[in-house]
């Protein structure tokens, strides 16, 4: 029997068994049980002649040292004739949703990225706690979750009135998407509680969530030309950081945060790729085209900051782009020409739409889904990953064509494919 140490846990994280148990060689009642992809810490013991089992959480959520310390405390209770499972159930009658959320954020999120944690905390603070935070777990039911969901959909939450504060650059006001995401998070929190034996069932499991239609907004080639004209107007002559960031988003298809937090040491100029240490899908190399390369070299020649887009104040990176981009898309400027056909006006467009635009142009140029996914940094299935050493050069050629095409539109040129 092995000691269930940190190194042992790391060795079994990717293993899959139908049902297998590893017992600790020091704390005999402590074990790890693997059932498919589910891997849990368990404590087995006898109480009044009956075999008992307690789940102490997932191996992905709790460290061996933490679990071993709790196991020692629980075994001490067992030796004193106290059933720890009954003791835990008594505590459950006191624990409320707000306290469960705090426990989840403290102990159940080791597998999540920091950016995701900030979003989760925002949903907990602005939506979950104000509506159902005071309800005890023993009294919580599906109806409570449904009523919470309806309030969020209608914007009837604390955040929509006194707490409607800026979070990043957007306001938390509710809506269908916010309701959907909040119920999804709450379901994960309840599953965490079930693993800890704080709940017997998930009250969010059978909640019928609102259907949300994905917004795949993007710019047409004509829109890109008009945007290029707009970016050259006197109104934006002092917004060079914003203009270059918008161009780079269009030319690369990168996410907003990837570009705004881009550092010079993330860029491999020789191989035309970004070497991101952390993205939405983890550490990643991402190719970019020749037009993006030219823009980056131009920016670097006038930039001594470690950031490609440094903040206007302080030592961080630039953050004011969403506000300026919203103005560009939603405002008909005073210096716009009288001909409305030369005015860029797309209030439905967001910065993420520029990523969709890159994909749309790539598709119109004839590239397949696999190539587009590679340029955008989407996860590629393992069956094709073996060819990645050959794909890189092909992706660079594709990125070159797409970025040159988009850049030509921004500069007012005509592309034969869309000239008719």
| Two tokens, residue 20 | 């297998």
pLDDT at res. 158: 54
Give 131-148 as a 3 state SS string. HHCCCEHHHCCHHHHHHH
Q: How far is CA 91 from CA 23, 127, 267, in A?
A: 28, 25, 52
C-alpha distances out from residue 285 to 151, 229, 254, 257, Å: 42, 32, 12, 16
Strands 30-36 and 38-47: antiparallel
pLDDT at site 212: 63
Specify the CATH number for 6-83; select among 3.30.110.70, 3.30.9.10, 3.30.160.390, 3.40.50.300.
3.30.160.390
- Residue 175: left if φ>0, alpha if ψ -120 to 50, beta else—which one? left
Where does the chain hold its CATH 1.10.150 domain(s)? 97-195
pLDDT of res. 160: 39
Scanning 236-350, the segments in alpha helix (DSSP H) are 240-252, 256-260, 290-300, 321-330
Q: What is the pLDDT of residue 19?
A: 87
CA 37 – CA 13 distance, rounded (Å): 9
User: Does domain 221-418 sit in CATH 1.10.10.60?
Assistant: no
Tell me what pLDDT residue 332 has. Answer: 60
pLDDT for position 350: 92
Six token digits for residue 376 = 């955008």
DSSP secondary structure letter of residue 127:
I
Residue ranges, CATH 1.10.443.10, the chain = 221-418
Helix runs in 5-107, H state only: 6-12, 64-79, 84-92, 97-107
Q: Per-residue pLDDT tens, the chain, 420 aa: give them.
A: 688 888 898 888 888 888 889 999 899 899 999 887 778 889 999 988 888 888 887 888 788 998 899 899 889 989 988 888 776 655 555 788 998 998 888 877 777 777 788 889 999 999 999 999 999 888 899 999 999 999 998 887 654 344 434 333 334 456 888 899 999 999 999 998 888 878 888 999 888 887 766 567 999 999 999 999 999 988 888 899 999 999 999 999 999 999 999 999 999 999 999 999 877 767 889 999 999 999 999 999 998 899 999 998 888 999 999 999 999 998 765 444 444 456 788 988 999 999 999 999 999 999 999 999 999 988 665 434 444 444 478 899 999 999 999 999 999 877 655 544
Helix and strand numbers, DSSP H then E, in the chain? 17, 9
Residue 135: closest CA among 188, 94, 84: 94
Going from the C-alpha of 206 to that of each of 142, 146, 188, 338, the distances in angstroms are 7, 10, 13, 56
Give the number of other Cβ atoms within 10 Å of residue 18's Cβ. 7
What SS3 state is found at 17? strand
Task: Count CB-CB contacts under 10 A for residue 50.
Answer: 8
C-alpha dist (Å) from residue 336 to 175, 231, 387: 35, 11, 49
> Where exactly does CATH 3.30.160.390 map onto the chain?
6-83
Name the residue with tokens 């590893």: 22
CA neighbours closer than 13 Å in the CB half-sphere of residue 345: 9
Cβ-count burial of 349 within 10 angstroms (0-12 exposed, 13-18 middle, 19+ buried)?
buried
3-class DSSP state of 30: strand
What's the rounded Cα separation, in Å, for the pair 262 and 170?
A: 21
Indicate the CATH number of 97-195 among 3.30.420, 3.40.190, 1.10.3470, 1.10.150.
1.10.150
> Cα dist. 216→8, 353, 354 in Å?
45, 7, 10
* Pairwise CA distance, residues 224 & 291, whole Å: 15
Radius of gyration (C-alpha) of the chain in whole angstroms: 27
**Closest to 299 measured CA to CA, from 263, 350, 324:** 263
User: Closest Cα partner for 40 from 243, 182, 235, 194?
Assistant: 194
- Burial, 122: exposed, middle or buried (Cβ in 10 Å; 0-12, 13-18, 19+)? middle
Reading the block at residue 170, the tokens are 């957007």
Can you tell me the distance from the alpha carbon of 9 to that of 280, in angstroms, rounded to the nearest whole number?
25
Place of tokens 């009250």: 203
DSSP secondary structure letter of residue 209 = P
């Amino acid at each position: 029997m092995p000691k269930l140490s940190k190194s042992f846990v790391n060795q079994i994280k990717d293993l899959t068994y139908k049902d297998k148990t590893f017992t600790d060689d020091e704390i005999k009642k402590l074990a790890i049980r693997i059932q498919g992809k589910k891997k849990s810490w368990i404590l087995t013991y006898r109480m009044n002649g009956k075999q008992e089992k307690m789940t102490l959480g997932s191996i992905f959520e709790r460290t061996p040292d933490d679990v071993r310390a709790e196991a020692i405390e629980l075994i001490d209770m067992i030796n004193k004739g106290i059933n720890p499972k009954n003791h835990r159930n008594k505590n459950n009658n006191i624990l409320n949703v707000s306290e469960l959320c705090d426990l989840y954020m403290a102990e159940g999120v080791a597998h999540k990225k920091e950016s995701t944690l900030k979003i989760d905390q925002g949903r907990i603070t602005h939506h979950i706690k104000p509506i159902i935070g005071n309800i005890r777990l023993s009294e919580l039911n599906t109806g409570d979750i449904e009523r919470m969901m309806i309030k969020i959909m209608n914007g009837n939450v604390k955040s929509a009135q006194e707490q409607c504060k800026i979070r990043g650059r957007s306001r938390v006001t509710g809506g269908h998407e916010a309701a959907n995401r909040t119920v999804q998070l709450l379901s994960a929190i309840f599953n965490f509680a079930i693993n800890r034996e704080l709940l017997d069932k998930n009250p969010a499991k059978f909640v019928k969530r609102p259907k949300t239609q994905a917004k795949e907004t993007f710019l047409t080639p004509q829109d890109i030309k008009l945007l290029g004209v707009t970016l050259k107007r006197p109104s934006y002559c002092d917004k060079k950081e914003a203009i270059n960031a918008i161009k780079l988003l269009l030319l690369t298809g990168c996410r907003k945060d990837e570009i705004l937090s881009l550092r010079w040491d993330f860029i491999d100029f020789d191989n035309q790729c970004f070497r991101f240490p952390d993205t939405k899908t983890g550490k990643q190399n991402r190719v970019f085209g020749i037009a993006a390369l030219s823009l980056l070299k131009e920016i670097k020649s006038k930039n001594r900051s470690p950031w490609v887009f440094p903040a206007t104040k302080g030592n961080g990176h630039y953050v004011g782009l969403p506000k300026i981009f919203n103005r560009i898309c939603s405002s008909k400027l005073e210096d716009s020409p009288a001909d409305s056909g030369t005015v860029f006006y797309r209030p439905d467009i967001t910065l993420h739409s520029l990523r969709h635009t890159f994909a749309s142009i790539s598709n119109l140029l004839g590239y397949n889904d696999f190539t587009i996914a590679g340029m955008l940094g989407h996860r590629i299935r393992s069956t094709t990953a073996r060819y990645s050493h050959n794909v890189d050069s092909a992706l660079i050629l594709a990125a070159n064509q797409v970025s040159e095409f988009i850049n030509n539109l921004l500069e007012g040129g005509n592309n034969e494919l869309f000239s008719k």
